[in-house]
Amino acid sequence: MTEPHAPHAKPFTVEEGNRRIRSFVLRQGRFTDAQQRAFDELWPRYGLDYTGAPRELDAAFGRHAPRVMEIGFGNGEALRFASANDPARDYIGIEVHAPGVGRFLNALAADGTPNVRVYHHDAVEVLENEIADGALQEVRIYFADPWHKKKHHKRRIVQPAFAQMLVRKLALGGLLHLATDWEGYAEHMWDVLDATPGLANSAGPRGHVPRPEWRPETHFEKRGLKLGHGVWDLVYNRIG
């Protein structure tokens, strides 16, 4: 009997002789039969296959509406909450870890959520090649890997070039919302984003805001807060 596998063993473009620094490591864990069935049965409904060509989002969703993208949605807890409570907008989730994608596909089917589509691919490549400039009303990045060791800081997804790309993809007046429970990563994000032309920190330089109502508090976050750990929500406006 063969082991279950996700549809994309490598959720990024493999370029011979080019080892690109990525913000993730594929620690996939066990891929269950239920998650495999989710890919087999629900991917045609909710999945977006990466093609490397500009994506017609109106066709993907069957309507024209403002779009929100969550990068690295994990098991989809925040994305599930937001899309269910905001039916007027469309949501695009990006995640490279197959088990989380499989669990989220099953959750979408259980909820009957119509306004979500999912990529199982590298977010940088999706943004670079498939999302038109100005196409997104919001981008959300919650609890990205902080890559604690200094020698690994280059792997952090929030880097100057990435921030500049987000500015291009956001519509004027759009929002960039990030959350972290690691103070050192909050400091890093302030260093990068406060210095990025086209972004304005809604709380002022090196400022953060209380958790917005659209981001649910996670189980791990609640546990961390009880232990005295901090959580930083950074919200930036896309300005002209």
Catalytic residues: 145
Give the C-alpha separation, 48 to 123, whole Å.
12
Give the C-alpha separation, 191 to 240, whole Å.
20
| CA-closest candidate to residue 117, choices 156, 90, 87, 152 | 90
CB 237: neighbour CB atoms within 10 A? 15
